[in-house]
Amino acid sequence: MKKGYLVLENGAVFEGDLIGAIEASGEVVFNTSMTGYQEIVTDPSYAGQIIVFCYPQIGNYGINKLDSESDQLHLHGVITGEQCEAPSHYLATGSFSSSLLQNQIPSLTGVDTRALVKMLRDHGTMRGKIMAELSEDNDEWLSEQSFVTNVSVKEKTYYAGDGPHIILMDYGYKKSILTSLQSLGCAVTVVPFHTSYEQLVALQPDGVVLSNGPGDPEALSSCFETIRLISETYPVFGICLGHQLLALAHGASTRKLTFGHRGSNHPVKHLETGKVFITSQNHGYEVVEDSLEKTGFALTFVNLNDGTVEGLKHQHYNIQSVQFHPEAHAGPSDTAFLFDAFLKQITRTGDQHYAFT
């Protein structure tokens, strides 16, 4: 391995060992999870980003054939304190670093990740570059853009099942959302994010799930009207980006968080029962609570760390959404029951007072 560098847009430089002579730029974000690194790097929501792992050693149990959340990696880079090159697990098919190399994802290890994460917490998310050689010319940074076009499926795919027919609108969906629906017997059709209202109606769904995905939800403003029409016609469940898009489609607003929520230990409170759940999260934007006043939405979950909006239900339409990931992977399965609740939501169409419990 040779020396490499992470250069942030504020001029800060962090030195480490570059695994693979590959360079890349992206939005530098951090994840606090202790395990689940394979699920994290394969989550399409990280498209365009460089992930800093807070946990000091990554790769202990290697990479396997079961835990990937997508077929390819969409992130732009990985930063770690230490990477294990001799993993120990009976399912391991290779090391973490070798998997990144095979997918041409640059990895910088031996970095002071505590100092780096502290800087990102204090100053907010920043753009950065992984570089093999330091350069004085750092004016060209990765520009803000929507990666949804890159990560969404190009054609619809049908998965048979004996239960309700669910349309999964793909903004960068995780495999575990699909498998969660399948485990409940649902037939699922995964469709591209730009699928029209008329095309969706022709598929005759019983309900619709709006998936997670990368980037600023405002970048998908061309989809808002379609989402509004869908959610006024069918039972809809929004997850992460899908939650934000539902709110925007009904007149709410969103804004960027200072450093986002990325990890598997975020506590949220269910306002209807008072129960607290530990959740898996991965997002950089939030729905602005003050903007919900005339949208017809009511709060269902709030974040106990910073009070941000974590769940919504509509008072007139059969719509529910959560900012966190009920499918987890990586993370606790405390809120997996929300998929069961969604199926009840479908069978109780027209009951506008039904809420997740």
> From CA 329, how far away is CA 331, in angstroms rounded?
5
> Running DSSP on this structure, what letter comes out for residue 142?
P
Start-to-end CA span in the chain (Å): 52
CATH number corresponding to 148-347: 3.40.50.880
- In this structure, the chain runs to a length of 357
Bond from prior residue into 336 cis (ω within 30 degrees of 0): no
Three-state SS across 243-295? HHHHHHHCCCCEEEEEEEEEEEEEEEEECCCCCEEEEEEEEEEEECHHHHCCC
Q: Give the DSSP H/E element, type plus range, for residue 148.
A: helix 148-151
> What is the per-residue pLDDT for 353?
37
To the question of domain 2-131 being in CATH 2.40.37.20, the answer is no
* Sequence-separated (6 or more) residues with CB below 8 Å from residue 76: 24, 25, 26, 48, 49, 50, 105, 106, 142
Report phi then psi at 107, rounded to 5: -135, 130
pTM for the complete prediction? 0.94
Please check whether residue 44 is in contact with residue 175, taking contact to mean a CB–CB distance below 8 angstroms.
no
pLDDT of residue 138: 61
| 236: CB partners within 8 A, 6+ apart | 207, 208, 209, 210, 230, 246, 317, 318, 319, 320, 321
Torsions phi, psi of 57, nearest 5?
-120, 125
Judge whether 2-131 and 148-347 match in fold.
Answer: no
- The reported pLDDT for the residue numbered 1 is 75
Tens of each residue's pLDDT in the chain, 357 residues: 789 999 999 999 999 999 976 889 999 999 999 999 999 999 999 999 999 999 999 999 999 999 999 999 999 999 999 999 999 999 999 999 999 999 999 999 999 999 999 999 999 999 999 999 988 766 667 666 789 999 999 999 999 999 999 999 999 999 999 999 999 999 999 999 999 999 999 999 999 999 999 999 999 999 999 999 999 999 999 999 999 999 999 999 999 999 999 999 999 999 999 999 999 999 999 999 999 999 999 999 999 999 999 999 999 999 999 999 999 999 999 999 999 999 998 987 544 433 444
Would you state the pLDDT for residue 145?
Answer: 73
Domain parsing of the chain, residue ranges: 2-131, 148-347
Q: Distance between CA atoms of 211 and 325, rounded to whole angstroms?
A: 10
Active site residues: 240, 325, 327
